[in-house]
Amino acid sequence: MNNKEKLRKAGLRPTKQRMIIADILLGGINRHFTAENLQNEINSSGKSMSIATIYNCLKKFRNCGLIKQVESSKDTAIFDTNINQHHHFLNEDTGELIDIENDAVNLRKLPEIPQGYLNNGVEVLIKIKKQI
Amino acid sequence: MNNKEKLRKAGLRPTKQRMIIADILLGGINRHFTAENLQNEINSSGKSMSIATIYNCLKKFRNCGLIKQVESSKDTAIFDTNINQHHHFLNEDTGELIDIENDAVNLRKLPEIPQGYLNNGVEVLIKIKKQI
DNA sequence: CAAGTAGTTTAGAACGATTTTAAAGTAAAA
DNA sequence: TTTTACTTTAAAATCGTTCTAAACTACTTG
Ligand SMILES: [Mn+2]
Ligand SMILES: [Mn+2]
Ligand SMILES: [Zn+2]
Ligand SMILES: [Zn+2]
């Protein structure tokens, strides 16, 4: 399925701007990035896009499940093209995130989900720092 | 150990403002809160404190290990008085966090820590949402 | 205790990330 | 083709947080 079809299937009009972002984000190597990272990459390729549009698109993409947003205590939102359930190393010295594939982690025991609620995904974060 | 001693031991001068915050946060029931939550609570008790001071104190408390900051994709920083290693349910409908005690989770398999790095804590986040 | 000094608080300004506004532009529907 | 709803944009606004610089206070030293 090409990117235009992916957008259509997600209920999003394939505008010029969304196609530019889809071409960068979808179907390539997985990555973690900020809105500003993405704008810089668009600029480097000789194109340009309003930062408002970038935020609009990322929010739409996220709400459609085309990308995810990472839980992070940094003050800038971090997005993730890896939409499979997976886990992360967090380098606490640098803030860098590294993917951990889902099957590299195995949970022997989990608490009961509160009454009336559904498990909507489990994420493991392994904080690491450089050895001294 | 009383709060004044706790601050001293952490290398922090027990100022009037830090004692007010310590009295609210330390040694009570564990909770998750924002800087604004804390200011509202201080205000409700008839006291007042500059928001800059609240941020200053929370940062000092966090750096001393008296409180933690939660990994969260919300744009407001969330702090946690539970400084033990533990896990969370995240109610994705409301943003509410619920503590999961460390021994309620058991990890059978973890990936290898990258060469030259140390494991500095593992956090499990279980996202939940209301059943439909 | 009295001074001295180093650390702290504060209001307000500044900042950086994100959202809103409102007008112009574009994609899809009729 | 005309109409409609949706999208993009620059610029302003907003929001959480940090900075500035002056006043204040806790601790140290004499
Ligand atoms: Mn923030
Ligand atoms: Mn965040
Ligand atoms: Zn990832
Ligand atoms: Zn907690």
Mean pLDDT by 10 residues, chain B (132 residues): 96 98 96 98 97 98 98 97 98 96 96 97 97 90
> pTM for the complete prediction?
0.95
Q: Are residues A90 and A121 in the same domain?
A: yes
Q: Are residues A79 and A49 in the same domain?
A: no
Q: How far is A41 from A43, CA to CA, in rounded Å?
A: 5
Give B79 Cα–ligand 4 centroid separation in angstroms: 8
Q: Which residues of A54-74 are buried (b: 16+ CB within 10 A; e: fewer)?
A: beebbebbbeeebbbebbbbe
Residue A132: predicted pLDDT: 84
- B92:A119 CB<8 A: no
B13/C5 CA-to-C1' distance in Å: 15
Could you tell me the residue range of the domain that residue A126 belongs to?
Answer: 71-132
- Tell me the nt nearest to B48, Cα to C1': C10
Tell how strand A32-33 and strand A79-80 pair up: antiparallel
Residue B125: predicted pLDDT: 98
B65 touches chain A (CB under 8 A): no
Q: Are residues B20 and B53 in the same domain?
A: yes
Q: Are residues B59 and B83 in the same domain?
A: no
- Tell me the nt nearest to A4, Cα to C1': C27
Residue B132: predicted pLDDT: 84
Q: Are residues A14 and A40 in the same domain?
A: yes
B21/D13 CA-to-C1' distance in Å: 32
Residue A78: predicted pLDDT: 98
**What is the DSSP-derived secondary structure letter of residue B102?**
G
- B107:A105 CB<8 A: yes
Q: Which residues fall within 8 angstroms of residue B105, CB to CB, at 6 or more apart?
A: A107, A109, A110, A111, B87, B124
Q: Are residues B42 and B77 in the same domain?
A: no
- Tell me the nt nearest to B13, Cα to C1': D26
Which residue is associated with the tokens 């619920």? B98
Q: Are residues B86 and B39 in the same domain?
A: no
Q: Are residues A78 and A58 in the same domain?
A: no
Between CA B2 and CA B8, with CA B6 as vertex, the angle to 5 degrees is 120
- A118:B125 CB<8 A: no
Domain boundary among A63, A91, A113: A63
Number of domains in chain B: 2
Q: Which residues fall within 8 angstroms of residue A65, CB to CB, at 6 or more apart?
A: A10, A83
Amino acid at A76: T
Q: Are residues B58 and B93 in the same domain?
A: no
Give A87 Cα–ligand 1 centroid separation in angstroms: 23
Between CA B26 and CA B30, with CA B28 as vertex, the angle to 5 degrees is 90
Domain boundary among B63, B85, B109: B63
Using CB atoms within 10 A of its CB, is residue B131 exposed (0-12), middle (13-18) or buried (19+)?
exposed
Give A79 Cα–ligand 3 centroid separation in angstroms: 8
Kindly give the residue spans of alpha helices, DSSP state H, lying in chain A. Answer: 3-9, 16-25, 35-44, 51-63
B11: left (phi over 0), alpha (psi -120 to 50) or beta: left
Q: How far is B100 from chain A (nearest CA, A)?
A: 7
Weakly modelled stretches of chain A, pLDDT under 50: none
Consecutive H or E run containing B40? helix B35-44
Q: Are residues A47 and A25 in the same domain?
A: yes
Q: Are residues A105 and A127 in the same domain?
A: yes
**What is the DSSP-derived secondary structure letter of residue A110?**
-
Q: Are residues A54 and A10 in the same domain?
A: yes
Residues 73-92 of B with CB under 8 A from A: 73, 75, 77-78, 89-92
